[in-house]
Amino acid sequence: MISLYGVKISSRLLLGTALYPSPQIMADAVKASGTEIVTVSLRREGVQPGAGASFWRLVEGLGVKVLPNTAGCHTVKEAVTTAKMAREVFGTNWIKLELIADNDTLCPDVVALVEAARILSAEGFKVFPYCTEDLSVAERLLRAGCEVLMPWGAPIGTGLGLNNPYGLKAMRAHFDDVPLIIDAGLGAPSHAALAMEMGFDAVLLNTAVARAGDPELMANAFAKALEAGRLAFDAEPMLPNDMAAPSTPVLGKAVF
């Protein structure tokens, strides 16, 4: 169980709600994943009655906590405005803060991210910042009021897994008492298991499930991988050796 801004969460999987073949398939995947938190990207037309409203009702019916996000925002003003709209629509002060610097890599704009996090935290938001594994940026986000950090595994939608294990391990070791959620870039359940084995608290993913041949089955696979990875971390895995070491004792063997 993990605590995010004082809220106890049992599932270590956060799931996105975009890109699915249909709303019903999305709902089935959410249920199969066992997640307790889904992310929803606010679009301005969703505030008005229409197709968006029925989607929000479907999400509400899932019985999970909604984490709105500012996906697609490129400026501090745009992100702050979107966050305020999301608070009105969804009735929550939780916000996943995304500020994109480059459309090809979807890399976070870390300078604008820190400024937006400072503004939103001062206005009562509980900010979940999508960031890089840069330790200095992480320090600034914490000073800005964030209590959770969401470093990327790889660029959004690539499915490459954990691109910088060294940097992520350093981040986990440096911020040992801060909830860290791997966000973006995971493509297979094994990637999620590795994140858990490294000691991360949770993962957030979307494309790997939504674009799978069977999203419901893949959601369940990720849930099981996260459980296995966390159990492995708690069990304290053996350290790797440079040399082979026999598992069967050589003392007392038969001599001919």
122 is in an annotated binding site: no
Residue 96 annotated among the catalytic residues of the structure: yes
34 is in an annotated binding site: no
Give residue 61's identity as a one-letter amino acid code.
Answer: G
The residue to which tokens 């050589």 are assigned: 250
Catalytic residue among 31, 65, 77, 96: 96
52 is in an annotated binding site: no
| Residue 48 CB-half CA count within 13 A | 4
Q: Is 173 exposed, middle or buried (0-12, 13-18, 19+ CB in 10 A)?
A: exposed
6 is in an annotated binding site: no
Give Cα 248 to chain centroid, integer Å. Answer: 42
C-alpha dihedral sign at 108, 215, 36, 47: positive
Compute the CA torsion angle 6, 10, 12, 18 (nearest 10 deg): -90
- From residue 80, alpha-carbon distances to 43, 69, 70, 137 in Å are 14, 11, 8, 19
The residue to which tokens 């501090």 are assigned: 76
Residue 127, H or E segment: strand 126-131
- From residue 57, alpha-carbon distances to 6, 54, 84, 89, 132 in Å are 26, 5, 20, 12, 33
185 is in an annotated binding site: yes
Give residue 230's identity as a one-letter amino acid code.
Answer: R
> Known binding site: residues?
157, 184-185, 206-207
Q: Name the binding residues for 1-deoxy-D-xylulose 5-phosphate.
A: 157, 184-185, 206-207
- What residues are annotated to the active site? 96
